[in-house]
Amino acid sequence: MLTRVLFAAVLILGSVGASLAQETAVVALGLTDHKVAEDELAKGEAPSAPKFNTPGVAYGWIAHPKKGDTVEVTLMKDGKPLMTNMQEVDADDADVLLQAGKTGVPAGGWPGGAYSARVTVTRDGKTVAEQTSEPIPFD
């Protein structure tokens, strides 16, 4: 009898704990003209947008990833990948801020087109979070 009670308690507490676990989510995603830090993004202000003659950096800030997840951030041009950065998460619930792009200016400036940032979080071969920013020109 005691074994059944303990088993039922484990099942109930396990389901309560699972419901309290937070989902992996994209906190911030976008394009900027410099490398950003979490404290800058935490202020809630949009970083300055890139221009044709400034650096161009795509950033993605992920909350509550799990150990072993793969986070990938891609700078896109006209819907096609231009530069990508990947990182495997080494601890549960460690926020990840990942960036991809150029901290210098390409010779002659950025070519015309619509640029966007994409972030993908993969767990056990399945996508658990994915988001793409609105495309913008680098004027």
Domain of residue 129, CATH code = 2.60.40.10
Q: Is residue 7 part of a domain?
A: no
Cα–Cα distance for residue pair 100/35, rounded to 1 Å:
9
> Domain range spanning residue 89?
23-137
Total structural domains within the chain:
1
Say yes or no to pLDDT of 113 above 50: yes
Q: Is residue 13 part of a domain?
A: no
pTM of the model: 0.83
Residue-level pLDDT at 21: 63
Say yes or no to pLDDT of 3 above 90: no
Mean pLDDT, the chain, whole residue set: 87
Q: Return the bridge partners of 32, or none.
A: 57
Average pLDDT over every residue of 31-57:
95
Residue linked to tokens 């990947």:
86
Average pLDDT over every residue of 88-115:
93
